[in-house]
Amino acid sequence: MFKKLIALIILVPVLGISQNTAIGNNEKLSFSASYNISGLLTDIAQVTMETSEVKTSSATLLRLKCSATTYSSFDSYFKIRDLYESYVSPTSLTPYLYKRDINEGTYNKFEQYKFNHKAKNVESIMRKKKRSGDIEEKKTVKIADKTLDIVSTIYNIRNFDFKNMKQGASQKFTFLFDNEPLSINVKYLSKETLSTKLGKKECYKLAISLSDTSVLKGNSDNLLWLTADANKIPVYAKFKIAVGSGELKIASATGLKN
């Protein structure tokens, strides 16, 4: 369940692929992730989101990197060193390559997707380490239009035009996770002002729910707040899963585009 927890900690929903006006190529956001342990919210990990420019022989891409690392005080209980990366178009944030490297205690897994949006498929590689030896699985997965990976979903939401979205309006979108398409529903609830490490911020408040999975619980227990400015920074999130609940709070933000 902890591998699902960390995936959800860094999961921010996507509201559609649009022109990138919010994400720069040298941004770094740091968060403190907490989990409800025996009735107390306990800081367990640092989550970092970084962007950088990558030049290939044929194109310039934007690298979206998300990492989750448990604090040293929590390592003895359950050590996590997870890395998620997506290489996307700098203008549309459409993903072309996705990598996921999971190291959680004795659980190790590597995953890679190569997106072919024209052919509507993904070339997938998955490797798992087991006592009996490494297992590798290669397959081609059919995808629908505008299917994303879990990392590109984090950044696409920040390009949505909330100013023209009515309160209570919602949309469903698709991302690929563990070779399975998941549908995510995002509802715009209201504006709220929060006190954060970045100061007092007026924010867009969103409710998040996932279809075709039992990981997230409830339709109003998973909430996300984005700053109501040109950067739309995720500053606070609350989530509820089968084995408990937790929060994500912004710690610092540098290299912002706007």
**Among 2-11, 31-40, 136-145, 161-170, which is the least confidently predicted range?**
2-11
Q: Note the helical H segments in the chain.
A: 2-9, 72-75, 150-156
Amino acid 246 reads: G
Residue 256 counted as domain residue: no
More confident residue, 95 or 57: 95
Residue 258 counted as domain residue: no
The 10s digit of each residue's pLDDT in 158-208 is: 888 888 889 998 877 789 999 999 888 888 999 999 999 999 999 999 998
For residue 131, the SS3 value is coil
Residue 257 counted as domain residue: no
Residue 200 counted as domain residue: yes
Q: What CATH code is carried by the domain that includes residue 183? A: 2.40.360
| Residue ranges making up the domain that contains 47 | 2-251
> For strand 40-55 and strand 81-88, is the pairing parallel, antiparallel, or unpaired?
unpaired
Closest by Cα among 184, 245, 175, 174 to 209:
184
- Exposed / middle / buried, residue 162 (Cβ in 10 Å: 0-12, 13-18, 19+): middle
Residue 107 counted as domain residue: yes
Q: Which pTM value belongs to this model?
A: 0.87
Residue 219 counted as domain residue: yes
Residue 116 counted as domain residue: yes
Number of compact structural domains in the chain: 1
The 10s digit of each residue's pLDDT in 40-70 is: 888 999 999 999 999 988 899 999 999 999 9
